[in-house]
Structure 1
């Protein structure tokens, strides 16, 4: 997996750990190991601008996801890509971009009673699920997405606990 993280905000976010959880989540979901993901970390004014432009909402949000239209051989878990002999199958899949706003994440973490790092990991996982077509507009979609998100984060915590020994 190729995970590129660019921090344009003034808040340190632990890029190595963000990359690690993104790689873990993509691996757990069976995404093409050559997949590429971009994570952009921005300040409040930049996020507010993106949120207004793309979502029609005023003010900043915590995470935005901008999927690429072509998700060859990657896709939602449990959905096999169509059999193909196309020579391009070995090309990396460009999943898309996730944009995070750490200033919003800090206040949300405090309100939720967990760490800033835990909030960033949740938002990264959430953004990846959006890139893969999950949504939470309808109750059934919300149950599926948030259930999968919780399961992935639980496995991530277990994995990191094991590695810390």
Structure 2
């Protein structure tokens, strides 16, 4: 797993989305069992999923000045084993998606970052907007690769 690739990608995504420099985001890669536990505990769904996002600073509530000085976008959890299963099906789902596990994980990280920033795909309009942003970011990423 090229963790450096994803650290750089997250930083570039946050910058492109206008998030202040220094905002922290964690990307964690887990196995199927751990992802299944997280999916059950946080989403109420059985079995593993490909990506989960846990926004932090978007949660409303009072913060001390010290807390306010630390910018935390949130945590993204990716399951490469599920991504590997989904990769071939993802081929062509976005311009440039070649069906590789790397392309699928790129998509999942972009998807996770957009969730941290408040985007959602529960409703058709939100899904269309989120997909358009994903495609824009992936096109930019893959044109540089």
TM-score > 0.5, shorter chain as reference? yes
TM-score w.r.t. the length of structure 1 is 0.76
Matched residues, number: 135
Matched, 1:104 2:92: no
Matched, 1:146 2:135: no
Runs of 4+ in 1 over 6 A off after TM superposition: none
TM-score w.r.t. the length of structure 2 is 0.86
Provide the rounded CA distance (Å) in 2 between the counterparts of 1:117 and 1:133.
25
Q: Which of these residues, 1, 5, 9, is aligned with residue 21 of structure 1? A: 9
Higher helix share: 2
Provide the rounded CA distance (Å) in 1 between the counterparts of 2:31 and 2:65.
41
* Structure 1 contact 34–91 (Cα < 8 Å) conserved: no
Larger Rg: 1
Unaligned segments of structure 2, at least 5 residues:
92-98
Unaligned segments of structure 1, at least 5 residues:
1-12, 72-85
* Structure 1 contact 24–156 (Cα < 8 Å) conserved: no
**Structure 1 residues 51 and 87: CA distance shift in structure 2, 3 A:** closer
